[in-house]
Amino acid sequence: MSEPLMLKIALIGVLGMTAQWIAWRTGKPAIVFLLGAGIIAGPIAGLLDPARDFGELQQPIIKLAVAVILFEGGLQLNFRDLREAGRSVKRLIILGVPLGWMTCTLAVHLGVGLDWELSALFGGILVVTGPTVIGPMLRAISVPRRVADTLKWEAIINDPIGALLAIVVFAQMTFATGDADHAASVPAVLGASVAAGVLGLALGLAVTWAFPRGLVPEYLKAPMLLVIVIAAFVAADTLQHESGLITVTVMGMTLANRPTFSTATIKRFKEDLSVLLIAGVFIILSATLDWQVISRAQWGFLAYLFLLLFFARPLTVLVSLLGSDMSWRERLFIAWIAPRGIVLVAVTGLFALRLSENGVAGADLLVPLAFATAIATIVAHGFTAKIWAETLRIARGEGTGLMIVGINQWSAAAAAAMREAGVEVMMADNSKFSQRHARFRDIDSRKGDVLNDKFRHQFDWNEFHHVVSASDSDAYNALVCAELGPELGFDKVLQIAPDQRDGLTQPKGNTVFLDPVDIYELQTRTADGWIFSRTRITQEYDFADFKANLDDGAQPFAVVRPDGSYEIFSSVRTPTIRDGDVVISFVPPETAEERKAKRVSKAAGKAEANAGASPEPA
C-alpha cells in the first residue's frame, strides 16, 4: 500500500471519529457531522476522491462494511420482544411495508423523475427508519411506552426488510439483459434469496451450537464471528449479487434469538466495529458527491421530500393503524416520526455503485438523494418531535419515579421515606422471601431479575428519574449499573457502595451518599434502630445549619423539591438545596424531641454569637 493511500485511510478514520465525538458532545445526530466532514474533505478541499484513491477497492470496502452493519442490525431483532411490542408493530410491518414501498416509490418517481425500476429500488430502501436516531429522540421527549415501542421495533424490523426489498428489485434489474425474458428472472432471484437466507440460518444455528459448548475459546469468539460474517457474505454474493446481505441479516437474527452465552460481548464488539465502519462509509460516500449531479434535481429533491414527509409516511401509518387500539393522537405522532439514517445511506451507496457501473441512467442521483433524505428527515423530525408530542398532549415530561433494585430492611425503609415525601417508588427483587419487606411497608414491588431482558421490558424506564441498586450483593449491584447505565445514563443509575475491605468489587456507577457506606453497615444500622428523617429547609434553618446538626455517621440521602422532583446525594453529586426543599436523611435513633431540642440549642448559641459580634451602640 502506497504512503498517500495510507494517509487517506488515516484521514478517513480521524474525520469519522472526530465527527462522532462532536455529535456526542453536542447531542446532535452523527450523520450531519459525517456528511459535513466528507463534503469538506471531498468536493470542497479535494483531499479525498474515493474513486481515484481506492479504485477497484472502493466497492468491496463499501459492501463488506454494509454487510457488518446489517448483521449488527439483525442482532437487535429479538422475536420475543417483538411479540411483546403488540399488534401495532405487526400492522406497520404486514400492512405498512408494502403500502410504504408503493407510496415512497411514487414519491421518488413523481418528485425526482427516476424511472419506475430505480424508484422502486430506492422506495424499498425508504421503508427503513433509523433505530440509532429514533432511540435518542424518544429518550429526549418521553412519550407513552407503546408509542415508543412501536417506533423502536418498526425501525429495527424494517432495517433488514428494506434491504431485502432493494435486493429483489436490484436483482431483477441486473439479472436479465438483452433479449432475455425479464419475467423468467423472478424465480431465479427468489431462489437465490431463499438459498442465501438458508445459508444465514444454517451458519447462525452452527454458531449458537458451537459457542455454548466451548468449541471456540472466549477470546476468539468475536473475531471468528466477524470472519464468518464476511465469508458468508462473500459466498452468498457469488451466488447472486447482493444476496449476501440477506445471509448476514438472517444470521444476525438467528443469533439474536438463540443463546450463545457470549451475546453481550459479541454485541459490544459488533457495535464498536459498526461505529467505525459507519464513520468510514459515510465519509467515503459523502466525498463522492458531485455538485453538478445535485444541481440537476434541486427542485425535484424538494418535491420528493415534500411527498415523502407529508404524503407517503402519514398515509402509510394512518391506513396501517386504522382500527387499532391506539388513540388518534398517538397515531398522528407516529405518522410524523420516521427519521432515516445509517442503513438508508449505506445500502443506497452500495447499490448506487453497482448500478453506475452497469450504466443505469439516474443511478448517480441515488447517493445525494439518500443523504438529502437522511438530513431532511432527521432535522424535520428530530427538531419537531417534542413540539408535536406536546401539541398532541402525549408528552409525559421527565420521569419522577424512583426504582430500587434489591429489597431488604434498609432499602424498604428508604422507599417508604421517599414515598411519604411524595415520590412514586417501585421496588424489584428476584427473591420471594425479600418481598415481605416491601409488603410490610405497602410498597409496590415486582419479583424478577432486572438483568433479565424479559423482566426488564415490563417497566417503562423513562418513568424513573433514578435507579438505585441496593441488593445484598455488591457484585449484583455493579452488574445492574453496568447494564442500565448505557441505556438510562450513568448519572441516573446509582448503587450502594461495595464493601472495600476485600477490594474485590468495584462500583460500576455512582454510589449513594456523600461518604460511601456499604450495604452491610446500612443493614446493621437499620437493625440498631437508625431511621430516615425529613427536614424542611427554610431561610431561618438553611442547609448549613442542617449539616451542622447532623450526628456522627448521619448522612443526607435525598432532597425532594416542592414540585415533586428529587435528587439523590451521591459520591459525585451534591444537589443544590433551596428554601422549601425537604431533605431526607439516614440518622441514628433519637427521638424527634431530642433532635428539636438540639436544633433550638444550636440556634440559640448561634444567635448569641451573632449578638456578641454586633458593635456596641454609640
Instruction: Please identify, among 391, 411, 441, the residue that sits at the C-terminal boundary of a domain.
Output: 391
Q: Is residue 7 assigned to a domain?
A: no
pLDDT at 556: 92
In a domain, 35, yes or no: no
The answer, yes or no, to whether residue 468 has pLDDT greater than 90, is: yes
Q: At residue 595, does pLDDT exceed 60?
A: no
Between residues 316 and 361, the one the model is more confident about: 316
In angstroms, the CA 159 to CA 404 distance is: 36
Most confident of 335-344, 388-397, 461-470: 461-470
Provide the pairing of β-strand 531-536 with 555-560: unpaired
581 contacts 536 by C-beta, under 8 angstroms: yes
Predicted confidence (pLDDT) at residue 202 exceeds the cutoff of 90: yes
Of 147-151, 171-175, 493-497, 582-586, least confident by mean pLDDT is: 171-175
Which of 368, 391, 414 represents a domain boundary (last residue)?
391
205 versus 169: the higher-pLDDT residue is 205
Contacts of 134 (CB under 8 A, 6+ apart): 151, 152, 155, 337, 339
Which of 572, 87, 150, 60 minimizes the C-alpha distance to 333?
150
Containing H/E element for 88?
Answer: helix 87-94
Same domain, 307 and 444: no
Least confident span in 234-243, 314-323, 439-448, 497-506: 497-506
Q: Flag whether 91 is in a domain.
A: yes
Residue 497 carries which DSSP code?
Answer: B
Confidence at residue 314, expressed as pLDDT on a 0 to 100 scale: 94
* Average confidence score pLDDT of the chain: 81
Query: Cell numbers of 36, please?
Result: 459535513
pLDDT band at 474 (very low <50, low <70, confident <90, very high): confident
Mean pLDDT, residues 384-406:
84
386 and 418 together in one domain: no
Residues 354 and 453 grouped into a single domain: no
Residue 32 lies in a domain: no
The residue with greater pLDDT, 438 or 148, is 438
Report the range of poorest mean pLDDT among 100-114, 198-212, 494-508, 589-603.
589-603
* Interval 252-310: pLDDT, tens: 888 888 876 666 667 667 667 777 887 887 788 778 776 665 566 567 788 889 999 99
Work out how many domains the chain is built from and give that number.
Answer: 2
In this prediction, residue 348 carries a pLDDT of 83
pLDDT over threshold 90, residue 174: no
Question: What is the extent of the structural domain holding 227?
Answer: 58-391
Give the tens place of pLDDT for each residue, 64-99: 887 887 787 777 777 766 665 568 888 888 899 999
Q: What confidence category does residue 180 fall into, taking pLDDT thresholds of 50, 70 and 90? A: very low
Greater confidence, 149 or 501?
149
337 and 216 inside one domain: yes
Q: Are residues 407 and 527 in the same domain?
A: yes
Question: What is the band of 140 on the pLDDT scale with cuts at 50, 70, 90?
Answer: low
Distance CA 305, CA 435 (A): 55
| C-alpha 493, offset from chain centre | 16
Predicted pLDDT of residue 261? 63
Q: Alpha-carbon distance 618 to 607, whole Å?
A: 22
The angle subtended at Cα 84 by Cα 81 and Cα 86, nearest 5°, is 125
- What is the pLDDT, as a whole number, of residue 294? 59
168 CB contacts (<8 Å, ≥6 apart)?
124, 189, 190, 193
Section 30-41 average pLDDT: 80
**pLDDT value of position 475:** 86
Q: If pLDDT is split at 50, 70 and 90, which confidence band does 102 have?
A: very high
Indicate whether 168 belongs to any domain.
Answer: yes
Written as nine digits, the cell of 63 is 459492501
Question: Residue 1: its pLDDT value, please?
Answer: 47
Could you give the 3-state DSSP secondary structure of residue 392? coil
C-alpha cell at position 616: 456596641
Provide mean pLDDT across the span 111-119: 88
As a whole number of Å, the end-to-end CA separation of the chain is: 92
| pLDDT value at 597 more than 70 | no
Task: Check whether residue 601 and residue 525 sit in a common domain.
Answer: yes
- Residues 315 and 434 both lie in one domain: no
Write down the pLDDT at residue 553. Answer: 83
Could you tell me if 336 and 355 lie in one domain? yes
Element (H, E) at 583: strand 582-587
CB of 512 closer than 8 Å to CB of 466 = no
Average pLDDT over residues 171-190: 58
Q: Is the pLDDT of residue 145 over 80?
A: no
What is the percentage of the chain residues whose pLDDT exceeds 90? 21
Indicate if the pLDDT at residue 504 is higher than 60. no
Q: What's the pLDDT score for residue 508?
A: 61
What average pLDDT score do residues 242-261 get? 80
Contact call for residues 100 and 186 (beta carbons, < 8 A): no
Do 281 and 415 have their domain in common?
Answer: no
* pLDDT score for 179: 42
Closest CA to 14 of 47, 53, 55, 61: 47
- Strands 401-405 and 425-429, how do they pair? parallel
Clarify whether residues 381 and 421 are in a common domain.
no
- Are residues 494 and 424 part of one domain? yes
Residue 8 lies in a domain: no
Which three-class secondary structure state does DSSP give residue 131?
helix
Residue type, 349: G
> Are residues 39 and 285 in contact, defined by beta-carbon separation less than 8 angstroms?
no
Q: Do 510 and 548 fall within a single domain?
A: yes
The yes-or-no verdict on residue 618 having pLDDT over 50 is no
In a domain, 37, yes or no: no
CATH code for the domain in which residue 260 is found: 1.20.1530
